[in-house]
Structure 1
């Protein structure tokens, strides 16, 4: 079986975060991850490469078609502002916006983020799992298990060598949510 093909499926509550500044931060990180050459612009090729690294297969022609109307004349790719506009359009068109209590939404968003790191689904993020995800994202820490273990240690309040969902929530809320 080959890589998973991207298709638009049922609405995802985590597609758009309720906190505008948190959503902007998340989009900025995604944009920077896609912008491999650091020119503050992401091309269709860079988007395709990033999706492949995440194990998602995307047809380059479909990506080009989807993004073309968001690329400003004279540019080779999407600026961050163009990327945000594309994201908002996709959200409005395909995912809608489900009204739920803000606390429930934050919990859901955090759970979705946690599951990205908890690759084996055991309810914990181990140093090895964090290292794998960092490596997939092309971050240098993906090659340094000692640094990854230190990262885990900063968050691991019960000192069991791994991060559970409660520890993850405390860390995320302490570093991100207060800025909303």
Structure 2
């Protein structure tokens, strides 16, 4: 019965977020993204994510949820004796949510090449950063996204500008999609 309750909670928590914007199919990108998210949620750096830490992070991202639903869903993934989710527990939770939310879409998805899918994933990731939708990521846009995710670099525009210049091949002070793709290939 607990599994059914958890499944219901997953649906309730995630029913409004069933688009593929943050779902990257490249295993290396997904692993990197999950590690960064885990580290962001683990605000006290104790290698555990508590329900309170997840709730605070979701609120910062504008994704408020019912704390009791969140608590009941996450508790089933916390190993006995632990204060919260370990990274491995977090990965298991992510897989469970991923399967629940996107499983049917995977079955129904049209067959496309791996390259086409990676391109689509990168396009969606780029859109997250390109807030004004002008086709470029400016230092200000990067700063806003980093700030929402809780990165300390966001408070120093100089560091954000350095991040931009490190991938800005044409030196125009912003990152276009081609430069973004090259940067992501290096991260693979």
TM (norm. structure 1) is 0.87
Which secondary structure does the structure 2 equivalent of 1:57 belong to?
Answer: coil
**Counterparts in 2 of 1:82-97, with a 5 A limit?**
82-96=89-103, 97=106
What's the RMSD between the two structures over aligned residues? 1.9
1:104 is aligned to 116
Which of 143, 168, 171 is the aligned partner of 2:180? 168
Bigger share in helix: 2
2:126 is aligned to 114
Which of 64, 67, 73 is the aligned partner of 1:66? 73
Instruction: Check the 8 A contact 1:15/1:91 in 2, yes or no.
Output: no
Unaligned runs of 5+ residues in structure 2 are 1-11
Q: Structure 1 stretches (4+) deviating beyond 6 angstroms? A: none
Instruction: Check the 8 A contact 2:51/2:71 in 1, yes or no.
Output: yes
Question: How far apart in 1 are the matches of 2:23 and 2:124?
Answer: 12
Instruction: Check the 8 A contact 1:18/1:102 in 2, yes or no.
Output: no
**CA separation of 1:94 and 1:112: change in aligned 2, threshold 3 A:** same
Deviation at 1:42, TM superposition (A): 0.3
Which secondary structure does the structure 1 equivalent of 2:15 belong to?
Answer: coil
2:46 is the alignment partner of 1:34:
no
**CA separation of 1:27 and 1:141: change in aligned 2, threshold 3 A:** same
Instruction: Check the 8 A contact 1:117/1:125 in 2, yes or no.
Output: yes
Deviation at 1:21, TM superposition (A): 2.9
Question: How far apart in 1 are the matches of 2:133 and 2:79?
Answer: 41
